[in-house]
Structure 1
Amino acid sequence: MTEFETRAPGIYLQEIETAGPIAGAGTSTAALIGTVAGDPANIVLGKPVLVTNWTSYLREFGGFSKPLSLPYAVRGFFENGGTLAYIVPVSDMSGLESALEALTHNLDVSIVCLPGQTDFANQVKVINHCEAMGDRFAVLDGARNPDNTADTEPLRTQRDGLMTERGFGALYWPWIRINDTEAPANSPEQVTVAPSGHIAGVMARSDNQRGVHKAPANEVVRGALNLEHHLNDAEQGVLNNLNINALRTFPGGPPMVWGARALSSNTAWRYVNVRRLVAYVSDSLLQGLRWAVFEPNNTALWKALERTVTEFLTRVWQAGALFGRTAEEAFYVKIDEELNPAPVRELGQVFIEIGLAPTRPAEQVVIQLGLWSGGGRVNEA
């Protein structure tokens, strides 16, 4: 409380700051790690640099240079709706761990990409980083067949090395074809590039338009003219059951994201949007409840925490992120003496138990079609 001026005895009104509502944490800032084309003398390797558009990237790191994947990924990120990205330049993957360590200081990052890198040993490091931070998600590129065929065996081997219990990453395949900006204007050509930067932009766009609870799928990949391989439903069904997200084209349409699976062996974390939603809620609570640190640990604090968390989660439910006809069906918040007995309080700790019922995507829409003659119905198998 601020110092109060001495006055005559009486009752006076003084405004004070109280715990405000929790503001939702950002979910669309990406970090992209890779090799850049700029002058090495002017670039600090392993240092994250924030860029806000493609022009600022060109100014900081130079443009395209085959076979680099990062510039194409960055342009694809902004082209698909991304607005903020940290670029972490490395000379090669020996600098990956240092790059990830540097990103631990950038708390606004929520998506991490390693464009063009399909070695699962390096991709696992990115997933582990995201899991350790708890507030970010890895968007990874599926492996190409060395013979440039549709054989998915390398992809399946890669996937086996990436599956985790908690699902802090997702794998996307096949690679996409875009306009080659280095080709002469009178002789346009296409170049095949990794999709992860474009997918990160799709996630940012979907988050801003619908919310992080909406699966970033059934979305157009802007800038993609074609796919390196075209899957049919049966082929995608196999990949989908392996938690590999496909990019598809349908008659007359552009390439689209057509999968929403996370790399999780636990069905609770099967979907990308569920993992990202829980990360969003966790990060928002961590940021929005700092006011409670060092407050007296008593029932008044518990009630204030319960009110603040409930108000935030009610807004999350109203946005369509949680399943339930009422807020009580969608979530619960518990903070009481059962969770916080005297020994816990003596340690200076407060425990809050929160349960969520997240909405999951309608991944398979089943139509039961039958013939109706007015009185009876004949179903088609």
Structure 2
Amino acid sequence: MTDFQTKAPGVHLEEIKAVGPIAGAGTSTAALIGTTREIAEADLGKPVAVTNWTAYVSRFGEFGTEPPTPTLPHAVRGFFQNGGTTAYIVPVQDMTGLGDALTALTRTLDVSMVCLPGITDAVLQKTVIDHCQEMGDRIAVLDGARDEAAPQNMEPVRTQREGLVTDRGFGALYWPWIRISDPGAPADEPALMSVPPSGHIAGVMARSDNERGVHKAPANEPVRGAVDLEVPLNDGEQAQLNNLGINALRVFPGSPPMVWGARALSNNTAWRFVNVRRLMAYISDSLLQGLRWATFEPNNTTLWKKLERTVTEFLTRVWQSGALFGETAAEAFYVKIDEELNPAPVRDLGQVFIEIGVAPTRPAEHVVIQLGLWSGGVRVNEG
């Protein structure tokens, strides 16, 4: 505080710290759990941040050629190939270490996607979904089960899906596996190999977030590094998968393998789409981080007005980015903080409640074309 005894009488200007706008939380950091070629005892079960493929190799080794070949390195490389910039690697000896790995990730607050590359056991995958739901700010990106003897058989992934569906949609399942150039094959004898898609998909999500925003469905996007798919799906097969909330990868004429689904594993229509779940996680995480300044402030109407202004300003920016539906901000969201929500008994407990409602945009999953014949003002519709 300024010592006004040392100043001449008059009007004085003093700068004070003001409440700043809420900054958006990060959405493109992935955690990948699995076995690596090289594992230091000190790294087991602990998240290790890497920012490129070279950093991963120097810490955990490359692919290796002798079986069993770990799937994690291919997932990590696929993540960075597709636009990912930061990943936490959580090495485990085997899946008995999954619980410890997930516990460690509860302390890593910038994670927004969790992958378990190559693991298709529904019980283990459900453990990851439960972790994401408990944290509330991340989603499980999961690999669909496959029948190695008959890759086109969809029964394994159908059965797997039944054990993963929840009300709140904190998981997403992708199928089929992708085909990549085998990095272990001799240069004069190139070959392809099948790998799980989850690491690549997490990279696609990161790329889509950075280029368009978390509200854009991470679909109709190429999978970089994928040469082909283990199973080329037709429209009828994809329809079956889509109705089950399983996201298909497709190859169309003249295009590389594409992500062609944006469904979350939810039986609740409100949480049907991956981008809606991730947008809500982004909003809640941003608010949690951006409103910490209010902790221990006097719980009165002055605080309520500051909170209302700060939240409204943030959600207005979210709406202007195209993430919320409505011609006006009032149609896109509302913020309520008043004595009805915060009566004296609530205030006596040291609590303050803010009610927020948002209208997220949803992807145009089905674009319907009405094709007609037109001649001299007469139109005949086909559908």
Tell me the TM-score normalized by structure 2. Answer: 0.97
Q: Distance in 2 between matches of 1:20 and 1:32?
A: 34
- Report the equivalent of 2:27: 27
- Report the equivalent of 2:294: 292
1:6–1:100 Cα change, 3 Å: farther
Q: Distance in 1 between matches of 2:87 and 2:126?
A: 21
- Report the equivalent of 2:58: 59
Shift in Å, 1:43: 4.9
Where do 5+ consecutive residues of structure 1 fail to align? none
Q: Distance in 1 between matches of 2:288 and 2:363?
A: 27
Q: 2:151–2:230: 8 Å Cα contact kept in structure 1? A: no
Which residues in structure 2 correspond to 1:300-311 (within 5 Å)? 300-311=302-313
Q: 2:208–2:218: 8 Å Cα contact kept in structure 1? A: yes
Shift in Å, 1:145: 1.3
Q: Distance in 2 between matches of 1:13 and 1:379?
A: 71
Q: Output one character per residue of 1:164-213: Cα deviation in whole Å (capped at 9) or x when no partner.
A: 00000100000000011111111111110000000000000000000000
After superposing on structure 2, the runs of 4+ consecutive aligned residues of structure 1 that deviate more than 3 Å are: 2-6, 8-11, 40-43
Shift in Å, 1:6: 3.8
Q: 2:215 aligns with which of 197, 200, 213?
A: 213
Shift in Å, 1:44: 2.1
Is 1:17 matched with 2:17?
yes
Q: Counterpart of 2:43 in 1: which secondary structure?
A: coil
Q: 1:43–1:61: 8 Å Cα contact kept in structure 2? A: no
RMSD: 1.2
Shift in Å, 1:12: 2.3
Q: Counterpart of 1:247 in 2: which secondary structure?
A: strand
Is 1:249 matched with 2:251?
yes
Q: Counterpart of 1:340 in 2: which secondary structure?
A: coil
Shift in Å, 1:67: 2.4
- Report the equivalent of 1:37: 37
Shift in Å, 1:371: 1.1
- Report the equivalent of 1:200: 202
Q: Counterpart of 1:214 in 2: which secondary structure?
A: coil
Q: Distance in 2 between matches of 1:80 and 1:351?
A: 40
Q: Distance in 2 between matches of 1:232 and 1:127?
A: 29
Is 57-66 or 27-36 further displaced after alignment?
A: 57-66
Q: Counterpart of 1:140 in 2: which secondary structure?
A: strand
Shift in Å, 1:147: 2.0
Q: Distance in 2 between matches of 1:370 and 1:216?
A: 32
- Report the equivalent of 2:318: 316
Which residues in structure 2 correspond to 1:31-180 (within 5 Å)? 31-38=31-38, 40-41=39-40, 43-65=42-64, 66-180=68-182
Shift in Å, 1:5: 5.9
1:155–1:4 Cα change, 3 Å: farther
Q: Distance in 2 between matches of 1:125 and 1:41?
A: 25
Q: Distance in 2 between matches of 1:42 and 1:161?
A: 33
Where do 5+ consecutive residues of structure 2 fail to align? none
Q: Distance in 1 between matches of 2:239 and 2:313?
A: 40
Q: Distance in 2 between matches of 1:233 and 1:220?
A: 18
Letter in 2 for 1:231: L
Q: Counterpart of 1:138 in 2: which secondary structure?
A: strand
Q: Distance in 1 between matches of 2:354 and 2:187?
A: 61
Q: How many residues align?
A: 379
Q: Output one character per residue of 1:97-137: Cα deviation in whole Å (capped at 9) or x when no partner.
A: 00000001110000100000000100001000000000011
Shift in Å, 1:146: 4.1
Q: Distance in 2 between matches of 1:112 and 1:363?
A: 25
Q: Output one character per residue of 1:234-269: Cα deviation in whole Å (capped at 9) or x when no partner.
A: 110011000000000001211000000000010000
Q: Distance in 2 between matches of 1:358 and 1:244?
A: 22
Q: 1:261–1:271: 8 Å Cα contact kept in structure 2? A: yes
Tell me the TM-score normalized by structure 1. Answer: 0.97
Q: 2:75–2:200: 8 Å Cα contact kept in structure 1? A: yes
Q: Counterpart of 2:186 in 1: which secondary structure?
A: coil
Q: Distance in 2 between matches of 1:112 and 1:364?
A: 28
